[in-house]
Structure formats: structure tokens, C-alpha cells
């Protein structure tokens, strides 16, 4: 009997060692593949730096769109522990909502119809914001309906049931949208709510770049002083250092400085004639994405709803005992995530000028990978992971192979799960006492 038990333990030990060796071999193969891809990008970038930095700008644009979708995955998983694979289709519905609002109703022109003498720039800003808000409302409403009728009854069931249901809901939305009386299965050209303008390196003066750098450094110094005073006991300075306006100004100023520096400074430093460009679409996407993320961070950290969301994510039974309506909190979380996905759909369609009923599949999956890379459950992690994903996809398509961009992007999910499963900003799982 003892010898039989020893044989079993010896066999289990051999299997564990074999699994460890195979795991190390797999990680080594992935690491070598990653080094090869990085080497290819570096070689191509050294041969044509102008194309490289132009692709970096394009990657920023795509990354900010992925960030809005990734936030929905992060919030929903943080509270319900559900990967909502229908989230990409909410993104698609938001894009189509804006398409019909622009092409049929001309909602983006309503300020000029009511006040014909209004400034054209203000009219475009108000009209475009109205289109985005409508898309966010419809997408958020769809997400709440999905939660109420598809997911709520499965909340206490095994997770695989909710996961399979999410995949079924995704297929239903996609192929219902393909019906002739719905969105149809055609690729449709998207009319932008505003005219596109392209800024080239020659259009931006060095003086403007110096002003932007000065404002950004001033904001950094101001924030640093507020943080220092807050640590020394000044409560007002501590509150102001975490104010949403300060966060918005720092994020927007930082990325705007980066974009203008790429467009202006690198051609000057290198002495080469690079024709780097950035469009107003990129700037609109950047500003809208940062603004929505700062608003979400404020809701989560400084409102009663946000406190209820954090309490429900930590312990639902205790949150119910404390008087929190957990069902309402979960529905509000789906509404917020769906609204962000709807806004991302509008920005994506504005950037790439095309909509179709399957447009949400790949962006939705890549946003999920971005959420995992950044640390699912972390709002800053969703932004960082999305920017990494955007750069990976664009640089892979530009310097390696267009068909390989999806393979390389999704292989990052495997690498992260093997090396750091909790993501960049995620925390390792701990047992509650």
C-alpha cells in the first residue's frame, strides 16, 4: 500500500515537472517570437523613421478608441465577474445610431437650423456632441436590456452559463442587424458629422509647440505642488490634486504635447523632410476619450453610485445588508459601459468612415485583450492596455504584415496570461477573510 502511494506521488511529481518544462518552453518560444517582431519593427523604423512616427500617431488614435470599449469590459467584470462578449455589438449599435442620426435626421446640423447665425465651429461642436450623446444613450439602454433579460437570471449560476449566453446574445445582435429591415449586411459609407482637416509638419510653428510644452510643464509643476502640500496635511490641496479638471488637463496636455512633438520636433531634429500629418479627427478622438474616462473616474471615485459600485464589486451580500440595491448598481454599470462603447462606435466610424453589422467583433475582442493587458478591473489599466494594443496593431500592420496584425495583437493575450495574469495594474488574487 505504501509503495502504491509512493508510485502515485512520484508519477504526479513527474507530471508537474513535465508541465513546468513545457510551460518554460512555451514561454521561451513566445519570448523569441516577441523579440523577432520587435527586431523587425526596429529595423524597418530605422530605414524609414517618418513612416514609423506616422504609424505611432495612428496607433494613438486607435488606442483611445479601444480604451472606451475596454472600460466597459473592466467595469462589468469588476462587479459581475462576467466577460460580456456582446459588448462589441453594443459598439456597433452606437455607430449605426449615429449613422442614422446624421444621414436621415441630420441631427448634427440642428444648432444651425434653430439659430442660423450661430458660429460654425460652435455649431459643429454642439451638433457632434449631440450625436455622440444620442449614440451613448441608445447603446447604454441596449446594455441595460441585455443585462435585465439575458444575464440577471444567470447571476447565481455557473459562470460558463453566463459566458455562453453572452456569446449567444452577440450572435443574435449581429445577425438581427444583418436583416434587410434592420441595418442590412452591406458595407455603408459613414458621413462624418464634421469636415476633416489635416495638419502637416509645415503647418505647425515651433512657437506653438513651445507654448504647448510650457503649459504642460506648468500644469505638471502645479499638480506636483498640490500633491506635495496634500502630503504635508493641506486638505484643500489634496482635494484639488485629485480634481477631475486637473486630471483632464494633465492627460490631455500630455498626449497633445506628445502628438505635436512627433509632428513638429522630430523632423527638425533629424534634419529630414518628413511629411508627418495629424487630422482633427485624431484630436477629437483623443479629447473625447480622455474626457469620458475622467468623467467615469470621477463617478467611480467621488459619487454615491461609484461607492456602491466599489462595495458591490468587493462583496455583494454585505453590500445588500448595508442597504445597497445591487441589481440597480449592476444595471447602472452596464449602462455606463454601454454608453462608453456607443461613443467609441461613433469615433471609430468617424475615423474609418465605414459601418457594417459585423464591425464590432474584432474591435470588441481587441478591447478585451487591452483590458486584460492593463489589468481587468482597473480604469487606468484599460487606458494603458488600449494604447499598447493600438500601437501593436498599427506597427505590426505597417512594418510586418497586414494579415499578421491580428495574430500578433491576440498573441499578446497569451504572453500576458503566462507572465503576469493579473495585468499591468491588476492585483494578484487574494483570499478574503
Beta strands 277-279 and 354-355, pairing class: unpaired
**Stated pTM of the model:** 0.84
**CA distances, 87 to each of 4, 130, 147, 167, 179 (Å):** 52, 22, 11, 10, 20
Three-state DSSP state, 354: strand
Task: Tell me what pLDDT residue 432 has.
Answer: 47
Non-local (6+) Cβ contacts of 222 within 8 A are 246
Alpha-carbon gap, residue 433 to 295, rounded angstroms = 33
- Model confidence pLDDT, tens digit, residues 246-292: 777 777 777 777 777 776 665 554 555 566 777 888 888 888 888 88
Instruction: Read off the pLDDT of residues 106-143 as tens digits, 9 standing for 90 and up.
Output: 888 877 777 777 777 778 888 888 999 999 999 999 99
The residues spanned by each domain of the chain are 49-419
The widest CA-to-CA distance across the chain, in whole angstroms, is 95
**SS in 3 state form for 233-295?**
CCHHHHHHHCCHHHHHHHHHHHHHHHHHHHHHHHHHHHCCCCCCEEEHHHHHHHHHHHHHHHH
pLDDT of residue 107: 84
Nearest to 378, CA basis, from 432, 321, 331, 424: 424
Average pLDDT along the chain: 80
> How many other C-beta atoms lie within 10 A of the C-beta of residue 223?
18
pLDDT in tens, 340-391: 999 999 999 998 888 999 998 999 999 999 988 888 878 888 888 898 898 8
* Residue 324 predicted with pLDDT over 80: yes
- Bridge partners (DSSP) of residue 31 are none
Higher pLDDT, 162 or 40: 162
State the DSSP string of 45-79: HHH-HHHHHHHHHHHHHHHHHHHHHHHHHHHHHHH
H or E segment to which residue 109 belongs:
none
pLDDT at 235 over 90: no
Q: Is the pLDDT of residue 333 over 80?
A: yes
Q: What's the average model confidence in pLDDT over 50-63?
A: 82
Q: What are phi and psi of 354, to 5 degrees?
A: -160, 140
What's the average model confidence in pLDDT over 188-202? Answer: 79
Amino acid at each position: 500500500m505504501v509503495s502504491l502511494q509512493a508510485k502515485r506521488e512520484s508519477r504526479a511529481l513527474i507530471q508537474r515537472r513535465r508541465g513546468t518544462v513545457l510551460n518554460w518552453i512555451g514561454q521561451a518560444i513566445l519570448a523569441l517570437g516577441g523579440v523577432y517582431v520587435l527586431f523587425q519593427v526596429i529595423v524597418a523604423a530605422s530605414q524609414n523613421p517618418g513612416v514609423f512616427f506616422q504609424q505611432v500617431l495612428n496607433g494613438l488614435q486607435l488606442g483611445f478608441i479601444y480604451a472606451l470599449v475596454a472600460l466597459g469590459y473592466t467595469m462589468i467584470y469588476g462587479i459581475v465577474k462576467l466577460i460580456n462578449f456582446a459588448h462589441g455589438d453594443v459598439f456597433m449599435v452606437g455607430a449605426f445610431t449615429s449613422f442614422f442620426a446624421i444621414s436621415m435626421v441630420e441631427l448634427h446640423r440642428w444648432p444651425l437650423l434653430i439659430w442660423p447665425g450661430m458660429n460654425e465651429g460652435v455649431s459643429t461642436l454642439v451638433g457632434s456632441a449631440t450625436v455622440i450623446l444620442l449614440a451613448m444613450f441608445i447603446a447604454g439602454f441596449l446594455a441595460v436590456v441585455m443585462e435585465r433579460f439575458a444575464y440577471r437570471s444567470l447571476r447565481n449560476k455557473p459562470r460558463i452559463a453566463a459566458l455562453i449566453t453572452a456569446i449567444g446574445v452577440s450572435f443574435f445582435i449581429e445577425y438581427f442587424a444583418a436583416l434587410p429591415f434592420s441595418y442590412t449586411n452591406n458595407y455603408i459609407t459613414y458621413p462624418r458629422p464634421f469636415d476633416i482637416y489635416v495638419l502637416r509638419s509645415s503647418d505647425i510653428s515651433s512657437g506653438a509647440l513651445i507654448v504647448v510644452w510650457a503649459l504642460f510643464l506648468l500644469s505638471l509643476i502645479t499638480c506636483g505642488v498640490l500633491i506635495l502640500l496634500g502630503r504635508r496635511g493641506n486638505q484643500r490641496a489634496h482635494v484639488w490634486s485629485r480634481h477631475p479638471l486637473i486630471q483632464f488637463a494633465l492627460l490631455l496636455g500630455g498626449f497633445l504635447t506628445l502628438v505635436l512633438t512627433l509632428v513638429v520636433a522630430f523632423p527638425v531634429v533629424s534634419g529630414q523632410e518628413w511629411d508627418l500629418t495629424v487630422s482633427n479627427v485624431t484630436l477629437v478622438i483623443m479629447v473625447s476619450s480622455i474626457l469620458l474616462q475622467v468623467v467615469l473616474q470621477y463617478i467611480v471615485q467621488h459619487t454615491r453610485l461609484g461607492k456602491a459600485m466599489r462595495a458591490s464589486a468587493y462583496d455583494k451580500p454585505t453590500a445588500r445588508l448595508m442597504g445597497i440595491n445591487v441589481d440597480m448598481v449592476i444595471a447602472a454599470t452596464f449602462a455606463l459601459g454601454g454608453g462608453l462603447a456607443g461613443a467609441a462606435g461613433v469615433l471609430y466610424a468617424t475615423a474609418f468612415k465605414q459601418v457594417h453589422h459585423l464591425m464590432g467583433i474584432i474591435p470588441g475582442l481587441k478591447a478585451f485583450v487591452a483590458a486584460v493587458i492593463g489589468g481587468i478591473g482597473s480604469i487606468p489599466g484599460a487606458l494603458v492596455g488600449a494604447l499598447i494594443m493600438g500601437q501593436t496593431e498599427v506597427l505590426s500592420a505597417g512594418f510586418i504584415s497586414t494579415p499578421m496584425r491580428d495574430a500578433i495583437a491576440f498573441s499578446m493575450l497569451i504572453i500576458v496570461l503566462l507572465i503576469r495574469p493579473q495585468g499591468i495594474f491588476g492585483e494578484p488574487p487574494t483570499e478574503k477573510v
